[in-house]
Homo-oligomer: A and B are copies of this chain.
Amino acid sequence: MNEGVIVRIDGVAAPTATDRKRAAIVEAATHRFLRQGYDATRIDQIAADASASKQTVYNQFGDKEALFRQIVLGATATAETFAAALPASLDDVPDAEVPDALRTLARRYLATTAAPPVLALRRLVIGEATRFPELAATYHERAPALVMAAFAELFARLGARGVLRVQDPAEAAHEAAQHFAFLVVGPAIDRGMLIVDVAAPDEASVRRTADRAVEVFLAAYRL
A interface list, Cβ under 8 A from B: 34-37, 39-40, 120, 122-123, 125-131, 133, 136-137, 139-140, 144, 175, 178-179, 181-183, 186-187, 189-191, 193-197, 212-213, 215-217, 219-221
Contacts and interface: CB of A to CB of B under 8 A. Distances in A.
Given A36-B130, A126-B194, 7 more contacts: A34-B130, A133-B195, A136-B196, A182-B183, A193-B193, A215-B220, A220-B220
Contact of A216 (B196, B212, B217): B217
Determine how many copies of this chain the complex contains.
2
Contacts of A144: 190, 194
A189 B144 CA distance: 12
Given A144-B194, A193-B193, A37 B39 contact: yes
A39 B190 CA distance: 24
B213 A130 contact: no
A213 B128 CA distance: 31
B191 A181 contact: no
A217 B196 CA distance: 30
Contacts of A186: 178, 181-182, 186
Contact of A194 (B35, B139, B197): B139
